Structure 1
């Protein structure tokens, strides 16, 4: 039987169409399986897909009527076929022909849905072009010719004035053209550059195995090179850190298949970031020592209260202790941020019971936040290989945020379950929600949404730390939210093998 399952999985992974399976018995129908073709179509890896609802592929394009058709079909347990706009991980639009079928058990209960997906972008494009050509072939040719002439002149002006170094390569990585910013930035001439192979420029500063491999994949796969850092001692300009982005560009006729490379000098930015990180690290360490002393003195005062001390005296001392604890947590977060940035954060990997860790964290928070009901549901019976203290810190951060940013609600839901080979943990609040613009940056260091900066104190590092901790544990952390309708933060963690 085991061999049969492996055979079926191998067959599914050999299919050209994307195949996913969702668990209808779990809230929000999470994806519990996907084949290789689905990873290729969407651009996401298996680990990034598991646990999500299929709608994440529509990104912010949520007004499509097809979404309602899918929702109704799932609600009614019917087959469904739609053609819907989806978006790859890199943001590229693709048209998806989606077939959905329910799977029932012996009792007639729908336990899963199977989705079969085909990328029909080329077909859609061909249909659109055919409609255009049928309308007026002659007019299209004339307009296109005029557009190309104007575009060439317009783009040439932009390329020469843009404040970023740009190169255009042919399929053999020979430099066809460069803009003035490249020439001035690297203090070279066109004769030094145009007509030469990219990997032979200067003192072979671009001849890096990993960069060469990425560039060689651009034309056959259309996968861009995104934010690749090159630190090198360049001829004429010295040691610099350059950020490289490269894309495939297609022109008609003789200019087909070109590579556009954009190079940005981030040396100064990296140095500023380093200084800022050094300051954070030094300041946090320097503050930690006197704060620990103050904490000890406050505890000593609490134990040595004078006989007949007034109630105001006791309350004041207790408030001092509370605020010292808050300051201690803030400094600890700053130290964590500094460690993450410098790559010095340590992972103490030990097997632990994730269900117990979450229960203990929820129990502790329930005591410290009696104004909110934290409802825990679900179970995994799973063991995680990781740093239990750090995972507890993530859960603490997410639930604390849920309480903090839902002042008009008194309930937080925590749900845990298995999805494939992962544990999924979701924290749902019923507060103010998050806008799409803020969702894109919410896990960045020190980022805080504008509308909450004045209302709620904080530095915007809790979610950044949580995101990095989960990433270091080979999991993913994401948020689903609508303004005014609350938020759900979810993360996955791989389950230890042999379970």
Structure 2
């Protein structure tokens, strides 16, 4: 009763139609059993002031609104047509209509025709009726094809020309006029129909009539007046020839859907695999004996080939996903559904096959230390201005059922509508537990070794300082130079060890960001002055900069600026100027370091901030480094919710820029 009331309410001002018909008598059964997607569509159809009707389900049950009723005729099909199967409702035009429906339901494009002649039986007779209409596929709750929505308008009065027979010598008898009119009607119907039509006459199946769309299937071939086997000899021996013989002999209608028929387009042309939707309907004489066949056909080759390519691509993707042991996910935001494949469920320790839920399955499966970070990243994925829909992240899961810890890398893409609202989020998840465990062991080893090296290095530094103090007045230039060089090398080693320790702390989660308010412009000046004390080969110029007070970790931002400046010195020729720029945008501040050195190739830019990555070229062979500086810079800036980037042209120099949000 609730569904019945809902349907009645859906009618709105069309209530007369909904109240006057027993909807439970349709082949779909009681209204309460109808799917929600059908009720939603009927809500649109019944409230529309424009003529609309809907074919629904495998049997193509028909529903329509009051605006469409006049086209059925005053003594026409209503209300019998409501809730009736399409083939039973429109037997006189079904061979023309059905191929168009099949084309739309099979994934083809929506159909649109203007002022199309389709005669229908109404007011107790067959009438010429012209239509402007569109056929559009509609889907059910699962996204599968469920029916065809038709928006139509009868245009008979606009396009129909009334012929007046005048003159005594041109007068026809009523019987002649009726016969001529009937013949003219069917000729016009066949020639203007939106599908290919031909009439095959007699047992030899001679082409008696061929409309333009049928002729387009065989361009350049002469069909009219020829027997089928003479005009299209390649069908001999094919199953389709046996089907035609059976239709002629038994009088039974045959409907083919996406049937493969190898045919040549041109006479003596190559045989091609071609696919068709068609109906073969026997034509009978006065004694009800078959005397020919009516053929209604649409070629769907392009659509089938596209389907096959899609299936092939899907199979290839499936094999790749299986080989890589990837899990896949698909979040339909509009429908509110989330699908995980079996592998994805395994990576989250889930064995059930029920519908997964973001709140119940995804979030509880995240490691507590990663949960807040991943929640923020996922929220940003759905904001186009922040992420542009890109998703690439590593995190830990704790199996909901098996409680096993796993490391995964998730990559995906969110898609947006015209209003930049998210509609779909799809991607894959890969188990990287073994790689992460190797990295953790390696980082632990590096951290341990680096920590152990600090003790002798500290002692060596102290000894060099004492030695330098005792030899302050030593006039031997070699000794003075040796002590100075030793101090320089010790500082380099100390910085290297500090970098390795920072990486170890960073990836073990032990590096902390201690924020405070400070002037970024002042910090930049201080670092430039410090570097100038040891670097005499380059000029470092800071362009005028307004005071920039930010809330961040002063020491770590200082290490980023230092790294960018020392890199600019290392990778640009002596005597070149290095420019430094500070500035403020609406909601952020930025610092840029520009050199005029060797530049960076596009392939290297993509990997430049990866850990341990170094550019390999003849220019870098003699430059010391382990590829950890820029990686640390990127991680520090990311932990400040900022961004770091580079613009470069090979041979012309590079500009490194980082931005930080204002407080």
Normalized against structure 2, the TM-score is what?
0.46
Does the alignment pair 1:484 with 2:642?
no
Instruction: Provide the rounded CA distance (Å) in 2 between the counterparts of 1:421 and 1:261.
Output: 32
State the match for 1:164 in structure 2.
Answer: 325
State the match for 2:462 in structure 1.
Answer: 296
Instruction: Provide the rounded CA distance (Å) in 2 between the counterparts of 1:205 and 1:357.
Output: 43
Does the alignment pair 1:197 with 2:346?
no
Structure 1 range deviating more: 332-341 or 159-168: 159-168
SS in 2 for 1:290: helix
Instruction: Provide the rounded CA distance (Å) in 2 between the counterparts of 1:411 and 1:428.
Output: 9
CA 1:154–1:345 in structure 2 vs 1: closer, same or farther (change >3 Å)? Answer: closer
Instruction: Provide the rounded CA distance (Å) in 1 between the counterparts of 2:587 and 2:431.
Output: 42
Give the conservation status (yes or no) of the 8 Å contact 1:164–1:182: no
CA 1:342–1:317 in structure 2 vs 1: closer, same or farther (change >3 Å)? Answer: same
Instruction: Provide the rounded CA distance (Å) in 2 between the counterparts of 1:215 and 1:282.
Output: 35
Instruction: Provide the rounded CA distance (Å) in 2 between the counterparts of 1:360 and 1:246.
Output: 43
Q: Which 5+ residue runs of structure 1 have no aligned equivalent?
A: 1-135, 251-256
- The alpha-carbon deviation at position 483 of structure 1 amounts to 0.9
- The alpha-carbon deviation at position 415 of structure 1 amounts to 1.7
Give the conservation status (yes or no) of the 8 Å contact 1:168–1:258: no
1:147 aligns with one of 287, 300, 306: 306
SS in 2 for 1:425: strand
Give the conservation status (yes or no) of the 8 Å contact 1:166–1:263: yes
State the match for 2:406 in structure 1.
Answer: 240
CA 1:425–1:183 in structure 2 vs 1: closer, same or farther (change >3 Å)? Answer: closer
Instruction: Provide the rounded CA distance (Å) in 1 between the counterparts of 2:442 and 2:401.
Output: 29
State the match for 1:25 in structure 2.
Answer: none
- The alpha-carbon deviation at position 311 of structure 1 amounts to 2.6
Instruction: Provide the rounded CA distance (Å) in 2 between the counterparts of 1:470 and 1:358.
Output: 16
2:629 aligns with one of 456, 459, 462: 462
State the match for 1:437 in structure 2.
Answer: 603
Give the conservation status (yes or no) of the 8 Å contact 2:340–2:356: no
Q: Residue by residue, what CA displacement relative to the aligned partner does 1:300-346 show, whole Å, maximum 9, x if unpaired? A: 11222398663322222222121111111111122222222223223
- The alpha-carbon deviation at position 295 of structure 1 amounts to 0.5
2:441 aligns with one of 269, 275, 282: 275
CA 1:150–1:233 in structure 2 vs 1: closer, same or farther (change >3 Å)? Answer: same
CA 1:426–1:224 in structure 2 vs 1: closer, same or farther (change >3 Å)? Answer: closer
Greater relative contact order (CA < 8 Å, ≥ 6 in sequence): 1
Does the alignment pair 1:379 with 2:537?
no
1:227 aligns with one of 389, 393, 402: 393
SS in 2 for 1:396: helix
Give the conservation status (yes or no) of the 8 Å contact 2:361–2:400: no
State the match for 1:347 in structure 2.
Answer: 513
State the match for 2:578 in structure 1.
Answer: 412
Q: Which has the higher helix share?
A: 1
Give the conservation status (yes or no) of the 8 Å contact 2:329–2:344: no
Q: Residue by residue, what CA displacement relative to the aligned partner does 1:77-133 show, whole Å, maximum 9, x if unpaired? A: xxxxxxxxxxxxxxxxxxxxxxxxxxxxxxxxxxxxxxxxxxxxxxxxxxxxxxxxx
How many pairs does the alignment contain? 347
Q: Residue by residue, what CA displacement relative to the aligned partner does 1:373-418 show, whole Å, maximum 9, x if unpaired? A: 1111121122222333322222221111111100255211112222
State the match for 2:471 in structure 1.
Answer: 305
Instruction: Provide the rounded CA distance (Å) in 1 between the counterparts of 2:312 and 2:563.
Output: 53
Q: Which 5+ residue runs of structure 2 have no aligned equivalent?
A: 1-212, 218-273, 275-298, 417-422
SS in 2 for 1:198: coil
Query: Root-mean-square deviation (CA), in Å?
Result: 4.1
CA 1:175–1:412 in structure 2 vs 1: closer, same or farther (change >3 Å)? Answer: closer
Q: Residue by residue, what CA displacement relative to the aligned partner does 1:266-305 show, whole Å, maximum 9, x if unpaired? A: 1111111111221121111111111000110111112223
State the match for 1:73 in structure 2.
Answer: none
CA 1:433–1:479 in structure 2 vs 1: closer, same or farther (change >3 Å)? Answer: same
Instruction: Provide the rounded CA distance (Å) in 2 between the counterparts of 1:421 and 1:183.
Output: 40
CA 1:320–1:422 in structure 2 vs 1: closer, same or farther (change >3 Å)? Answer: same
- The alpha-carbon deviation at position 204 of structure 1 amounts to 5.3
Instruction: Provide the rounded CA distance (Å) in 1 between the counterparts of 2:309 and 2:569.
Output: 56
SS in 1 for 2:452: helix
Q: Residue by residue, what CA displacement relative to the aligned partner does 1:215-270 show, whole Å, maximum 9, x if unpaired? A: 999999994654363412366794433334455799xxxxxx98755331111111
Instruction: Provide the rounded CA distance (Å) in 1 between the counterparts of 2:317 and 2:584.
Output: 52
Q: Residue by residue, what CA displacement relative to the aligned partner does 1:141-198 show, whole Å, maximum 9, x if unpaired? A: 63342121233144225413532234566856475965xx77999999xxx766x323
Instruction: Provide the rounded CA distance (Å) in 2 between the counterparts of 1:261 and 1:274.
Output: 26
